[in-house]
Amino acid sequence: MSAEMQMRPAACPACAVAPSAETLAAAGAAAPKEARLFLSLPTIHCAACISAVERALNGTAGVLDARVNLTLKRVAVEAGPEVTADRLIEVLAAIGYEAHELDPGVIAATATDRAGRDILMRLAVSGFAMMNVMLLSVAVWSGAADATRDLFHWVSAMIALPTIVFAAQPFFRNAFAVLRHGRLNMDVPISLAIVLAAGMSLYETAQHGPHAYFDAALSLTFFLLAGRYLDHRTRAVARSAAEELAALEVPRAQRRTGAGEETVPIAEIAVGDVVLVRPGGRVPVDGVVAEGQSEIDRSLLTGETLPAFAGPGMALSAGEVNLTGPLAVTVTAAGQDSSLHRMADLVAVAESSRNRYTSLADRAARIYAPGVHLLSLLAFLVWLWISGGDLRLALNIAVAVLIITCPCALGLAVPAVTTAASGRLFRRGLLIKDGTALERLAEIDAVVFDKTGTLTLGAPEPTNLGDHPRRDLEIALALAEGSAHPLARALAEAARQAGLHPARVSDIREVPGYGVEGALGGETVRFGRAAWVGAGAAPGSETASWLRVGARAPVTFTFADRLRPGAETAVAELVALGMKVRLVSGDAPGPVADLAARLGISDWQAEALPEDKAAAVQALGDEGRRVLMVGDGLNDTAALAAAHVSISPASALDAARVASDIVLLGRDLAPLGGAVATARRATRRIRENFAISALYNMIAVPVALVGLATPLAAALAMSASSITVSLNALRLR
């Protein structure tokens, strides 16, 4: 193309100017490159929301167009380069809508669903052709004869043949690809039946034969494409939601340069750069602290709930959260080399070992495909022998057998059930990422939970507020409000809820890594780490913060991790289903025992390393149990990948979400028990559908074998079985 464009000026000197004008125009059109921003709007739900959001965004300076997609809960904004996502998020926050920026690079892949549209188009064409051919067929079935019948058959052929060439392509392509590798799958008998039915019908039509199976070939294509489309829909919904989760974390870092600092994508960070990490930010790279003091929350990586002190010289890993003070970090590994990414790679390896699981549909197809071909060949040979060499009759019967056994119901049975089941689970906040996850979830009989971030929210809650005099609490509240540390925030929230008001503490300042300090009536008051307020060592493993007023002995505030909503219900329901429930955590024994007692889990293990977690899952597997692993941290990824099926909450690290088969979208754990029940019901429906298919084959195949299968019988049987399995799948909704 470009070569041709360059040739043209040389061939025609006179019009040498024209192409350059063309390119100029093209460049001019492309020059104001519109920044395309995507925002996720999790709370949007109504017609009024749509117009409110669109009006607000269109009223913002620099925005050219904004359009809400309610199905995806997302807004696409076309805007000039000066408009930033943060600005738009502020605009939406002002009118009361929560918004998050999405990474356009990740989202773009799902913005247009080409494959889905392709199948839908083929489905429409085959549906159109099927209806028209069936109308003509009804005339033939009800007694049209001779020339009229031939005319109708010819018209049917004219409609059916191009349709089959176009609409059945996905099956032909798959079948061809599989045959080249010398294997069989469901698409091979399908393709063979479609091609033979069409070819045989054409031959019969030309020979003025009474039977043509054009309508059967078309309805076969139509029903199977419907199954294919359902399957695609399920996967597309899961994929787009999973990618949206990934796109929510726009990976950027603050890099310090000679002139100041700049925001750059993670990919541009190199070893030796200095990256700034603000309080509350996630450490984007592996590195060593160069400047600053702070506390680091590494609960996602290790399961340890107690924040760790961080000062110059300390090594940090990507994924840890900086809590109190700004840090400058010298990069030692970034991007693909960071520990986060290495872990994700390990998971990819573990994943491939699990892919050995074959779904029910594949197992059925493995028996089905060769069986059908053998049966059809047998019919051909036997009839050739009975009729004394009548090739046409024998072939006719062989084709009838192939058509009537063809797995309309089988091809619809699994997709229809999984679509209904995943839709039901999605509405309850569970996202099925993997095609076979539902079947594997139905088989589990043991559950391993991680503690921090999974059964608990990873957010602390004060436990001994009642032990302190009101005055102390008021001072603590005043100091706690001066900090963004999670312990301080939790204390402030709880104290406010108890109806307390802060004491008049002046000169409040935060000492990063230690605590908050202030002055009250000439006395210094401090709230923070034990050593800093002069309290000696912290007692045991409890998460605690200390308050010291003047010269008085310090008092301690203890905290416990807050339970995730629905955790009690989920554990109780799983136990009621007869599961063996185990709690394995990287945290200290104290908090783990405490939580286990609260939830009624008798089997627990503390201070588990990532290998211990994987080993715990493995041990249960060796007992012959099928394990469900629920976890969220980097230390859980190995166990998630080793388990029979795994679930992680949406708040988990990217690596953990990648490793798990199912993602819990909401905060609530309660749907877990129901999910297992739904999965079991879905598997039962799939088996029922297989049974229905088998039953229908048991009746239809002997009819076809003795040569009594007319096109009418084939059409009736095929439609009846397809509709039966679809309706059976709908019972799940």
Partner 1 sequence: MQIIAYLIPVSLFLGGLGLGAFFWALRSHQFEDPEGDSRRILNDDWDEHPKP
CB of 32 to partner 1, least distance (A): 17
Bridge partners of 583, per DSSP, are 449, 604
CB nearer to partner 1: give 126 or 322.
126
CB nearer to partner 1: give 124 or 593.
124
Q: What is the dihedral of CA 296, 297, 303, 309, to 10 degrees?
A: 30
CB of 733 to partner 1, least distance (A): 17
- The span from the CA of 668 to the CA of 334, in Å, is 34
CB of 124 to partner 1, least distance (A): 5
Does the footprint of partner 1 cover residue 47 (CB under 8 A)?
A: yes
The closest of 514, 524, 519 to 485, measured between CA atoms, is 514
Does the footprint of partner 1 cover residue 392 (CB under 8 A)?
A: no
Does the footprint of partner 1 cover residue 7 (CB under 8 A)?
A: no
CB nearer to partner 1: give 305 or 422.
422
Does the footprint of partner 1 cover residue 78 (CB under 8 A)?
A: yes
Distances (CA, A) of 640 to 386, 477, 630, 659: 60, 40, 7, 6
For the chain, the residue count is 733
CB nearer to partner 1: give 131 or 290.
131
DSSP character at residue 359? P
- The span from the CA of 704 to the CA of 137, in Å, is 19
Q: Which residue has the tokens 């349709």?
A: 163
Does the footprint of partner 1 cover residue 609 (CB under 8 A)?
A: no
CB of 436 to partner 1, least distance (A): 28
Q: Which of 14, 28, 33, 71 binds partner 1 (CB under 8 A)?
A: 71
DSSP character at residue 467? G
Q: Which residues contact 708 (CB under 8 A, 6 or more apart)?
A: none
**How many residues line the site for partner 1 (CB under 8 A)?**
30
Does the footprint of partner 1 cover residue 124 (CB under 8 A)?
A: yes
CB of 69 to partner 1, least distance (A): 4
- The span from the CA of 348 to the CA of 366, in Å, is 27
- The span from the CA of 198 to the CA of 149, in Å, is 17
CB nearer to partner 1: give 243 or 493.
243
CB of 312 to partner 1, least distance (A): 50
The closest of 127, 65, 60, 139 to 92, measured between CA atoms, is 60
CB nearer to partner 1: give 128 or 426.
128
Question: Per CB under 8 A, which region of 124-132, 278-286, 481-489, 638-646 contacts partner 1?
Answer: 124-132
CB nearer to partner 1: give 54 or 568.
54
Question: Per CB under 8 A, which region of 71-79, 314-322, 497-505, 541-549 contacts partner 1?
Answer: 71-79
CB nearer to partner 1: give 157 or 642.
157
- The span from the CA of 592 to the CA of 546, in Å, is 22
Q: Which of 6, 43, 148, 257 binds partner 1 (CB under 8 A)?
A: 148
Query: Which tokens go with 95?
Result: 């009118």
Q: Which of 70, 346, 350, 384 binds partner 1 (CB under 8 A)?
A: 70
Q: What is the 3-state secondary structure (H, E, C) of 246-257?
A: HHCCCCEEEEEC
CB of 111 to partner 1, least distance (A): 9
- The span from the CA of 711 to the CA of 724, in Å, is 20
CB of 132 to partner 1, least distance (A): 6
CB nearer to partner 1: give 225 or 276.
225
Does the footprint of partner 1 cover residue 128 (CB under 8 A)?
A: yes
CB of 120 to partner 1, least distance (A): 6
Does the footprint of partner 1 cover residue 67 (CB under 8 A)?
A: yes
Does the footprint of partner 1 cover residue 95 (CB under 8 A)?
A: no
Query: Which tokens go with 333?
Result: 């590994």
Q: What is the 3-state secondary structure (H, E, C) of 523-545?
A: EEEEEECHHHHCCCCCCCCCEEE
Candidate list 215, 434, 450, 654, residue with the active-site label: 450
Question: Per CB under 8 A, which region of 151-159, 245-253, 259-267, 677-685 contacts partner 1?
Answer: 151-159
Residue type at position 520: L
Alpha helices (H) in 503-646, listed in sequence order: 530-533, 567-576, 589-599, 610-622, 637-642
Query: Which tokens go with 114?
Result: 């080409």
Neighbours of 439 (CB within 10 A): 22
CB of 128 to partner 1, least distance (A): 5
Does the footprint of partner 1 cover residue 117 (CB under 8 A)?
A: yes
CB of 49 to partner 1, least distance (A): 9
Question: Per CB under 8 A, which region of 64-72, 172-180, 272-280, 401-409 contacts partner 1?
Answer: 64-72
Binding mask of the shown chain, residues 97 to 116, with x at each position contacting partner 1 by CB under 8 A: ---------------xx---
Question: Per CB under 8 A, which region of 88-96, 118-126, 526-534, 607-615 contacts partner 1?
Answer: 118-126
Cα 498 versus chain centre, distance: 40
Task: Convert 533-550 to b/e letters by CB count within 10 Å (16 or more is b).
Answer: bebeebeebbbbbbbbbe
Does the footprint of partner 1 cover residue 470 (CB under 8 A)?
A: no
- The span from the CA of 628 to the CA of 646, in Å, is 5
Does the footprint of partner 1 cover residue 65 (CB under 8 A)?
A: yes
Name the phi and psi angles at 660, rounded to 5. -95, 155
Question: Per CB under 8 A, which region of 68-76, 253-261, 281-289, 583-591 contacts partner 1?
Answer: 68-76
Name the phi and psi angles at 661, rounded to 5. -85, -25
Q: Which residue has the tokens 């999605």?
A: 426
CB of 234 to partner 1, least distance (A): 16
Alpha helices (H) in 334-451, listed in sequence order: 339-354, 360-386, 391-405, 408-427, 437-443
Binding mask of the shown chain, residues 400 to 439, with x at each position contacting partner 1 by CB under 8 A: ----------------------------------------
The closest of 455, 456, 473, 474 to 464, measured between CA atoms, is 473
Does the footprint of partner 1 cover residue 130 (CB under 8 A)?
A: no
Tell me if residue 467 is catalytic.
no
Question: Per CB under 8 A, which region of 65-73, 338-346, 356-364, 674-682 contacts partner 1?
Answer: 65-73
Q: In what order do the strands lie in the sheet with 100-102?
A: 63-69, 74-79, 35-40, 100-102
Helix (H, G, I), strand (E, B) or coil at 47: helix
CB nearer to partner 1: give 44 or 186.
44
Q: Which of 14, 46, 61, 259 binds partner 1 (CB under 8 A)?
A: 46
Please count the CA atoms within 13 angstroms of the CA of 94 that sit on its side-chain side: 10
Question: Per CB under 8 A, which region of 47-55, 201-209, 233-241, 721-729 contacts partner 1?
Answer: 47-55
Q: Which of 89, 138, 155, 530 binds partner 1 (CB under 8 A)?
A: 155
The residues binding partner 1 (CB under 8 A) are 46-47, 50-51, 55, 65, 67-72, 76, 78, 112-113, 117, 120-121, 124-125, 128, 131-132, 135-136, 148, 151, 155, 159
Where in the sequence numbering do the catalytic residues fall?
450
